Structure 1
């Protein structure tokens, strides 16, 4: 017995309507500094979990958290047209 859903997913996997729009790609590009800062924070936390945390691990994690929060603030302060200004 063939499962139709599997065949359908293979056929429609590359349909035009499944591609991200230009607006979605622009939003991802605008959020990329925050995404990278978040990855750095996760990396620092993983390194600290690998062994008993020391002062270097604490500083690395704190620095990564500060960078992530700064990127979050910068993204929150962007207005809808992409210029700086706004909430905080």
Structure 2
């Protein structure tokens, strides 16, 4: 009978390197409204696929898409504004 050797040390050797940095966490926090808007859009699309789509489903999907586009615009403007300060 052969024994299975654990590889935990090899797998967890880089555990400190796997954690996100503070800058990455800040970027995720800035993108969170867009992520949540995307989730709402996907939810609206799933609801519409669950049964025969009607006008309410179409409105829900359009509103969710408008929210996604608004969050994209907000995020794009925020990243553009943060890069303006350096060059003259």
Please classify the TM superposition score into its range, dividing by the shorter chain length: 0.7 to 0.9
TM-score, length basis structure 2: 0.79
Q: What secondary structure, in the 3-state scheme, does the structure 2 residue paired with 1:20 have?
A: coil
Number of residue pairs matched?
80
Give the Cα separation in 1 of the matches to 2:13 and 2:81: 34
Which consecutive unaligned segments of at least 5 residues does structure 2 have? 84-88
Which consecutive unaligned segments of at least 5 residues does structure 1 have? 84-88
Bigger Rg, which one: 2
TM-score, length basis structure 1: 0.79
Residue 17 of structure 1 deviates from its aligned partner by 1.3
RMSD, aligned α-carbons = 2.1
Q: Higher relative CO (CA 8 A, sep ≥ 6), structure 1 or 2?
A: 2
- Please say if 1:30 is aligned against 2:27: no
4+ aligned runs moved over 4 Å, structure 1: 80-83
